[in-house]
A and B are shown apart, each in its own frame.
Chain A
Amino acid sequence: AQSVTQLDSQVPVFEEAPVELRCNYSSSVSVYLFWYVQYPNQGLQLLLKYLSGSTLVESINGFEAEFNKSQTSFHLRKPSVHISDTAEYFCAVSDRRANNLFFGTGTRLTVIP
């Protein structure tokens, strides 16, 4: 079975400051890793995912995440946040056979002007 831990339930950060949202997972099998974002009153959207290859993956809006197998982590970073990044961010894993996502409890990112 898989599980995901997002230690920070809320992260306030000033506009244009850097941010890191932490994600750790546990699994007895190889997994795929995802970050989804949920804007207020909307469904989730994929931000980025790690399947294989380079351990650093990037999104189109400046976020990046690095897969660290030894630390079983997949932390999300952005060097300079914007007001529009305010949202709930969910880390998730799925095993390689089936696409059932196991989510963390989410991190609420609030960007302060």
Chain B
Amino acid sequence: DTAVSQTPKYLVTQMGNDKSIKCEQNLGHDTMYWYKQDSKKFLKIMFSYNNKELIINETVPNRFSPKSPDKAHLNLHINSLELGDSAVYFCASSQVVLGGETQYFGPGTRLLVL
């Protein structure tokens, strides 16, 4: 039933580790996004994919690598995790990439780097 799902919901790991967060949408949308919400609740877009192709990469360190195996999935892989990576990561999707389209958000993945 869930439109946009993310796994895991919580992720606690050590500095220097590599981890992945998975995102799936069953809405048939063409466009998917990753956002980072910091401890002050500020939300910032990280990536946008349209039909498996990268559209936006907003000055994110190259330790972060999104992977879109198909239109319904956009996974986020993070190498060499740092303390500052601790945040809530939200996946979202929209029908098309054009401005004004409603984005549907997943429940978030809370990442804590120790």
CB of B83 within 8 A of chain A?
Answer: no
Neighbouring A residues of B101 by C-beta, 8 Å = 99
List chain B positions with a Cβ less than 8 A from chain A. 4, 31, 33, 40-45, 48, 55-56, 58, 90, 92, 94, 96-108
The 6 closest A-B pairs by CB, nearest first: A43-B105, A103-B43, A96-B99, A32-B100, A44-B105, A106-B41
Q: Are B100 and A99 in contact (CB under 8 A)?
A: yes
**Interface pairs (27), CB distance under 8 Å:** A31-B99, A32-B100, A36-B105, A42-B107, A42-B108, A43-B92, A43-B105, A43-B108, A44-B103, A45-B105, A49-B100, A51-B100, A98-B56, A98-B98, A99-B94, A99-B98, A99-B103, A100-B33, A100-B58, A101-B43, A101-B45, A102-B45, A103-B42, A103-B44, A105-B41, A106-B42, A106-B43
